[in-house]
Every structure is written in structure tokens, then in C-alpha cells.
Amino acid sequence: MRTGYDLELVHLTKRYGDTVAVRDLNYVFSAGSYVCLLGPSGCGKSSTLRMIAGHESVSDGSIVLDGQDVSYLPPAKRGTAMMFQSYALFPHLTVRDNVGFSLRMKGVDKPTRDAKANELLELVDMGEYADRLPAQLSGGQQQRVALARALITEPKVLLLDEPLSALDPFLRVRMRSELKRLQRELGITFIHVTHGQDEALALADQMVVMNNAVIEQAGPAREVFNAPRTEFVARFMGGHNVISFNGAKVALRADEVRLGATGLAATVAGVEYQGAHVALTAMTEAGEEVLALVPEAKFFNSPKNPGDAVNLAWDEGRLHRLQA
Ligand code: ADP
Ligand code: MG
């Protein structure tokens, strides 16, 4: 039995006039995985996603889904579906008719598409709202409807462009676990664009970090976090120090830095209470700033203040050399 479909980007490039938005991407999204495409604003995430969906033309290279080059197929023929940043529901159609819309375009009769729409609405826990209009729903509810609408086409790959950015922080965390559940249940590939590291870490089986139109690093979420390859990735993922050590740049996780009796001499520059941790920044004698995330109980056993002298220590082997 088939378990899914690989999606492959081959030398994929997008140019807008003189701007290269996506430069020669080569990547295989393995079947049935939750992939987060992560990177700062303007790095080419949406352009990549829109090319995969067929909402943007390819300048060079190709998109291969399940062994077939889909680069020049119209969006509805690709086996992909896209959920947009703005949910773009039709305001004059009920929730059920919104969800069934693409089936109506295909000429499916009303009883069949209503039944299918109801099924999808159940899946996203919106069954009881089928007769409402979009304006009668909260943002989070509209989003579930948009999700049901994208899924009714039974895509092989669901594309989501910053789907959680319009939600408040509480709802965002709830929706992201919903998305993960749905992906597991459906077993299809989700490609989820975000500029949030936390969101990517929480969701991704595979993480693809982009910067300046190229893939800077890709791999399992834990691997990217624990072994950032470049200074950009280390800084972008957060929670890491980038420091010079024996003439090379190295990364050191902030939660690996201890305040010890011996170690690198430094002066406390700032102390920020963060709940579970205290974020302590210290300036070394070489003028480098080092962040230490100290468990709060440990910190308050022996509190520090700006100006205090401290020694920074870490286990050998925790330093991680970065590529230039
Ligand atoms: P991201 O989604 O990562 O923020 P985008 O893919 O939207 O990045 O944009 C990548 C680059 O391409 C940016 O420099 C952006 O200004 C440019 N760009 C995006 N869309 C267009 C467009 N329709 N026309 C011209 N330039 C564009
Ligand atoms: Mg974008």
C-alpha cells in the first residue's frame, strides 16, 4: 500500500525582475512528514510555497510530486492545497458551502459535496457551525474552516503560509497542536511556513531554515537546534551563544552555561527573570557577551546582579564549531 508521496524541488528558482527570491533550491520533502519552512521575513518562504502550489510561476528548475513534474500544472491539478495567511473565506457563503466550494467547481452534486463538507467540518471540530456565515465566527474558527476547505480536495501535500500568525498566543499554541494531530491523522505531508522558531520546533519533523533565498540548513528539528551549522542558524534559532574560541566561531547553548567557582571570568551585564529560567548576560574580558539560562531555583540560591563578577563554565564537548 502507498503511504505517501515525496515532493522534490529541483534547482527551483524564482526571480522577480532583478530580485532573486528563491535561488536554486534542491530538497526532498519526504512523504507524510510535517515540515516547517523557517526563516526571517523576505528570505523566500512564501515564494517557495506559492510555486509549489502553482500560484506563482517557476523561473527555473522544477517541482516533482510523486515522480511527476507538476511545475506547469494549474493549482487544482497538482495534488497540493494551500491554506493562506488570510483565510479568504467567501463572506456570502455559509461555512458548509465555503468548504464544499472546490467540489462545486468540479461539478459535484450538492448532496455529495454537503456530505463531504460535513465530514471535513467534523474533522476540524466545526460541525455545529456549518450553517453560519464567516463573519459569525472567531478568527480561530475561520481558520478551521479554511483548513477544512483546503483538505476537501484530498491533497497529497497541504501548504500552510504562516497559518497561526493572526491568532492570539493562547489560541496559537492550541491550534498548532491541532495541526499536528490532523497531519498525523491524515498522514499527508504538511509544509508549514513560519518565521517563529518555537512554532517550528514544536511542530516539525523536518525543519528547513532559509536565509537570503537559499536553504541554510535542513534536517530533523532536534538536529538543527542542537547542531546549527552556521552562525546565522545558531542566532536565528535562539538559545545559543556564538563566541570566538581558539580562533574559530563556536556555538554554545545558553542552557549549557553554568555559573561556577572556576571558569571564564566575566561581569554580569543583565539579569532577566523568565519564569522557569533566569536569563543572565555576562561580558567576558575579551568583550564578548554570553547568555546563560539558569534554572530559576538555582539562580535564586545565589542571586547575581549587574556588575557582579562571575565565572562561566560548561562541559567540554558542548562547544559546537560553526562553518565560516
Ligand atoms: P518571505 O515569505 O520569506 O517573507 P517572500 O517569498 O514573500 O519572502 O519574498 C522573497 C523576496 O521576493 C523579497 O525580497 C520580496 O520583496 C520579493 N517578492 C516577493 N513577492 C514579490 C512580487 N510579487 N514581486 C516582486 N518581488 C517580490
Ligand atoms: Mg511570507
Q: What is the DSSP secondary structure assignment for residue 75, as one 8-state letter? A: G
Q: Domains, the chain, ranges and CATH?
A: 7-226 (3.40.50.300), 241-321 (2.40.50.140)
Q: What is the pLDDT of residues 179-192, one digit of tens each?
A: 999 999 999 999 99
Closest ligand 1 atom to residue 40 Cα is 3
The type of residue at 97 is: D
Burial class for 114, CB neighbours closer than 10 Å (0-12, 13-18, 19+): middle
Ligand 1 test: best mutation among 12, 15, 19, 210, most atoms within 8 Å of CB?
19
Q: Which three cell numbers stand for residue 168?
A: 492570539
Q: What is the pLDDT of residues 44-66, one digit of tens each?
A: 999 999 999 999 999 999 999 99
Partners of residue 218 on adjacent β-strands: 208
Residue closest via CA to ligand 1's atom 20 equals 47
The rounded mean pLDDT for the chain is: 93
How far, in Å, CA of 209 to CA of 266, rounded? 33
Q: Does 41 contact ligand 1 (Cβ within 6 A)?
A: yes
pLDDT of residue 86: 63
Quickly state the pLDDT bin for 165 (edges 50, 70, 90): confident
Quickly state the pLDDT bin for 126 (edges 50, 70, 90): very high
- The pTM for the full model equals 0.91
pLDDT of residue 4: 67
Does the pLDDT value for residue 260 go beyond 80?
yes
The arithmetic mean of pLDDT across residues 113-122, rounded, is 96
Asked if residue 181 lies in contact with residue 134, where contact means CB atoms within 8 angstroms, the answer is no
Q: What is the pLDDT of residues 207-217, one digit of tens each?
A: 999 999 999 99
Quickly state the pLDDT bin for 1 (edges 50, 70, 90): very low
Q: Does 85 contact ligand 1 (Cβ within 6 A)?
A: no
Across 19-28, 77-86, 111-120, 265-274, least confident range:
77-86
Does the pLDDT value for residue 91 go beyond 90?
yes
How far, in Å, CA of 192 to CA of 225, rounded? 18
Residue closest via CA to ligand 1's atom 2 equals 46
> Can you tell me whether residue 314 is helix, strand or coil?
coil
Residue closest via CA to ligand 1's atom 5 equals 44
The type of residue at 23 is: R
CB within 8 Å of 88: residues ≥ 6 apart: 146
> What percentage of residues in the chain have a pLDDT greater than 70?
98
Quickly state the pLDDT bin for 315 (edges 50, 70, 90): very high
Q: Does 19 contact ligand 1 (Cβ within 6 A)?
A: yes
Helical spans, DSSP H, in the chain:
45-53, 95-99, 101-105, 110-123, 139-151, 169-186, 197-203, 221-226, 231-237, 296-301
More confident residue, 167 or 21: 21
How far, in Å, CA of 120 to CA of 9, rounded? 30
CB within 8 Å of 120: residues ≥ 6 apart: 99, 148, 149, 151, 152
Instruction: Output the CA 12–ligand 2 centroid distance in Å.
Output: 17
pLDDT of residue 88: 81
Closest ligand 1 atom to residue 48 Cα is 6
The arithmetic mean of pLDDT across residues 22-38, rounded, is 96
How far, in Å, CA of 176 to CA of 223, rounded? 21
